[in-house]
Amino acid sequence: MANILDYIEWRGDLTVESVPLCEADALVFSRAAYLPLEGLLGEDEGPVPLGQLYGKLAAQFESGEKEQLIEGDMSLCRLMASSERYASLGVARYVNEADKTAEKQFSAVTFVLPGSICVAYRGTDGTALGWKEDFNMSFSDVVPAQAEAVKYLTRSAELYGGPIRVTGHSKGGNLAVYAAAFCPPAVRERIVSVRNHDGPGFLDKVAGSPEYNAVLHKVRSFLPQSSVVGMLMSHREDTVIVKSVRRALMQHDLYSWCVRRGGFVQMPELTEMSRTVDDTLKRWLAEMPPSDRGRAVEAAFKVLSAGGAVTAGDLLAGRKSLAKIRAYAAMDAESKRILAEGFRILRECAVGAEKRRKALEKAKKQKEKDRLQS
């Protein structure tokens, strides 16, 4: 089935003036936010013609000077640079920051269109720091990247007039919704759409706030049928289930999402696995107080990152096991207790959710058997 690369090849000769932006374009911009523009564009620079900028980036990919984050990024860069639909658009205000002390990983870019702009937020970049901030969302009403997202959107709105679209993938989707909700009212009024592509939701305090509800009618979330990341925390906006050609966690890859014309191939419902994950995580959040969640996350990352872990892969790797054991042994008794309690609750929630899934599956099979016998 077609994906966003096929979409660009199909619709790339049609300018945004002749055919307005659609849902597939928002997905393209969300993925394009991951393209590494360091050395090519700064936060206070632009707009630079997209074709020119991405042409330079494509050359860097080809020479090996830069590496694509995931397979498909080089093709995305080349196709956007050579298409009439995107090449003449402007690209401005690329920012990519990592602050270990503040536990912040933030990246965004602004696409300048004829008479409007699209602000796109990047998701977690694969570093341990980025994943730590994601987990902090489970107990913090606002994390540093969310506060930065509001400032970024506000500044782009000051620099460029017209309607505003906001989009993002993974944590970037969460940032898109948060920035749209908590930006100044004058900026919020200019926002015409907010797109969250398989990004986490929010704690109930944020999801129940007047600011969040004021922008809710402009927000739409898109989840692959076996979504995991997008099931985190509370979502109250309209949601569309998208078909992915990959399995389980790999469906988080936007290149696996099936595109049809300017929209998506939709699925009627989430898979049982996704609903089980959703049930497990919601029960964990309900049964563990926010203060304990914070200490559990802090303790877990202290152990996992012992030995100098830099990437998310390093956190889960078996290397530096002795350093991790020592880090755990050095913890105070209360941190050990809370960490153990967090894992206990999560394990019990997972077991309970799996039992309910099997019971529903058994009931469904029995219902089908009864139907066939009648």
- Residue 315 in this model has a pLDDT that exceeds 50: no
116-121 and 164-169: which strand pairing? Answer: parallel
Model pLDDT, residue 135: 63
- Residue 338 in this model has a pLDDT that exceeds 90: no
State whether residue 99 is helix, strand or coil: strand
- Residue 316 in this model has a pLDDT that exceeds 50: no
Mean of pLDDT values over 165-181? 96
The rounded distance, in Å, linking the Cα atoms of 175 and 163 is 19
**pLDDT tens profile 43-56:** 999 899 999 999 99
Q: What are the tokens at 248?
A: 């389980």
- Residue 356 in this model has a pLDDT that exceeds 70: no
Cβ-contact 312, 229 below 8 angstroms: no
Cis upstream peptide for 47 (omega within 30°): yes
Model pLDDT, residue 115: 96
**pLDDT tens profile 179-226:** 999 999 999 999 999 999 999 889 888 999 999 999 999 999 999 998
Beta bridge partners of 121: 108, 168
79-88, 269-278, 302-311: the lowest-pLDDT one: 302-311
Cβ-contact 325, 276 below 8 angstroms: no
**């988080």: which residue's tokens?**
252
For residue 177, what pLDDT band results from cuts at 50, 70 and 90?
very high
Beta bridge partners of 120: 109, 167
- Residue 325 in this model has a pLDDT that exceeds 80: no
Domain 4-269, CATH number (from 3.40.720, 1.10.1240, 3.40.50, 2.60.40): 3.40.50
Distance of CA 271 to the CA centre of its chain: 20
Model pLDDT, residue 304: 58
**pLDDT tens profile 90-143:** 999 999 997 766 567 899 999 999 999 999 999 875 554 445 556 667 667 788
* Burial class for 65, CB neighbours closer than 10 Å (0-12, 13-18, 19+): exposed
Model pLDDT, residue 310: 47
Model pLDDT, residue 274: 82
Cβ-contact 118, 167 below 8 angstroms: yes
The rounded distance, in Å, linking the Cα atoms of 193 and 164 is 7
Q: Where are the alpha helices (DSSP H) in 305-332?
A: 312-316, 321-329
b/e per residue 257-290 (b: at least 16 CB within 10 A):
bbbeeeebeebeebbbbbbbbbbbbbbbbeebee
**């889960």: which residue's tokens?**
316
- Is the alpha carbon torsion for 170, 174, 176, 177 positive or negative? positive
- Residue 302 in this model has a pLDDT that exceeds 80: no
Q: What are phi and psi of 249, to 5 degrees?
A: -60, -25
In this predicted model, which residue has the larger pLDDT, 88 or 337? 88
Mean of pLDDT values over 220-239? 88
90-99 and 104-113: which strand pairing? Answer: antiparallel
Model pLDDT, residue 234: 81
* Domain extents in the chain: 4-269, 277-373
Query: CA of 340: how far to CAs of 33, 140, 304, 324, 330, in Å?
Result: 38, 21, 14, 15, 15
- Residue 318 in this model has a pLDDT that exceeds 60: no
pTM: 0.82
DSSP-assigned letter for residue 221 = E
Which among 1, 176, 4, 191 has a CA at the least distance from the CA of 85?
4
The rounded distance, in Å, linking the Cα atoms of 351 and 366 is 23
- Residue 85 in this model has a pLDDT that exceeds 90: yes
The rounded distance, in Å, linking the Cα atoms of 198 and 168 is 9
**């929630």: which residue's tokens?**
349
Q: Where are the alpha helices (DSSP H) in the chain?
A: 4-11, 23-32, 50-63, 73-82, 84-87, 128-136, 144-159, 171-182, 185-190, 204-207, 210-215, 272-287, 290-304, 312-316, 321-329, 333-373
Between CA 166 and CA 175, with CA 169 as vertex, the angle to 5 degrees is 55
